[in-house]
Amino acid sequence: MKILVTGANRGLGLELTKLFLKEGHEVAAGMRAGSNSEALDSLKREYLDRLEIIHLDMVDEATMVHSADLIRSQWGSLDVIINNAGILLGRSRKFDQLDLEELIASFKVNTFGPMMLIKHLAGLMEGSESPMIINITSGAANDLGGSDYPYSLSKATLNMYSAKLNNYLKEAGIRVLAIHPGWIKTDMGGEKAPGSPETTARNILDIIEGRLQIYDDLVFINHTGVGL
């Protein structure tokens, strides 16, 4: 399969990229210009013909247009899009302390970025035998507690978008899922997280390759396929 992963230079995105390459897939690894690319550069030396490193910024639509053009010229088509890139801001702020700039930045990366990326890349999935769009979301989208407002609100909106997009793309045969990866040990999740990105990546691969079947009416699920 030909798979695009955003935020591919670290955390879950990097683990997904490693696993997909190991299992024989082709990967377009998206990362912001100027980010640490050492891990991806190492993978490129190992998987020269199956890895494309793409400078892709989730707040810059021009880089999305460029990515679509590059994938079209290099591969001609795309099977899977994984919107993994995200930011977590304003963790300790209460409602009366919310910072508008943090809210806007959170929605730009976590919600509007995936929307714009799909806008430009979904057309490349035409003709794929098993096209799928995965938006990495969070259980925080359903959390009514008093923290992580910018993050949880942006992910809740992403979930609604995913549901509407899944309905819109049904006739084209494109499945859309919003997947909660669990609390995992990454820069965002922290060292106290009980889960591992390796386990989540393996489960997501099982979903993509059809070993883990998801009920047709589900969109918002955890990485084991359970509806949330």
Question: What are 159-176's pLDDT values in tens digits?
Answer: 999 999 999 999 999 999
Tokens 């096209």 appear where?
Answer: 131
Give 13's pLDDT tier (boundaries 50, 70, 90): very high
92-116: per-residue pLDDT in tens? 888 888 999 999 999 999 999 999 9
pLDDT given at position 89: 94
Give domain status of residue 80, yes or no. yes
pLDDT, mean over the chain: 94
Q: How far apart are CA 117 and CA 94, in angstroms?
A: 31
Domain extent, residue 171, equals 2-222
Between the ranges 41-45, 87-91, 145-149, where is the mean pLDDT highest? 41-45
| Cβ-based neighbour number of residue 32 at 10 Å | 17
What is the count of structural domains for the chain? 1
Give domain status of residue 98, yes or no. yes
Give domain status of residue 211, yes or no. yes
Give domain status of residue 227, yes or no. no
10 Å CB burial of residue 62 (0-12, 13-18, 19+) is exposed
Say which residue, 33 or 169, is predicted with more confidence: 169
Kind plus residue range of the DSSP H or E element containing 159: helix 149-168
Give domain status of residue 184, yes or no. yes
Q: Please check the confidence at residue 4 and state whether its pLDDT lies above 90.
A: yes
Q: What percent of the chain has pLDDT over 90?
A: 84
Give domain status of residue 105, yes or no. yes
Q: Is the Cα dihedral 128, 112, 43, 34 positive or negative?
A: positive
Say which residue, 206 or 145, is predicted with more confidence: 206
For 117-150, the three-class secondary structure string (H helix, E strand, C coil) is: HHHHHHHHHCCCCCCEEEEECCHHHHCCCCCCHH
Beta bridge partners of 29: 5, 53
Q: What is the CATH number of the domain that holds 162?
A: 3.40.50.720
Q: Please check the confidence at residue 34 and state whether its pLDDT lies above 90.
A: no
**Spatial CA neighbour of 56 closest among 114, 136, 101, 17:** 114
Give domain status of residue 228, yes or no. no
Say if CB 40 and CB 17 are below 8 A apart: yes
Say if CB 11 and CB 86 are below 8 A apart: no
Q: Please check the confidence at residue 145 and state whether its pLDDT lies above 90.
A: no
Give domain status of residue 176, yes or no. yes
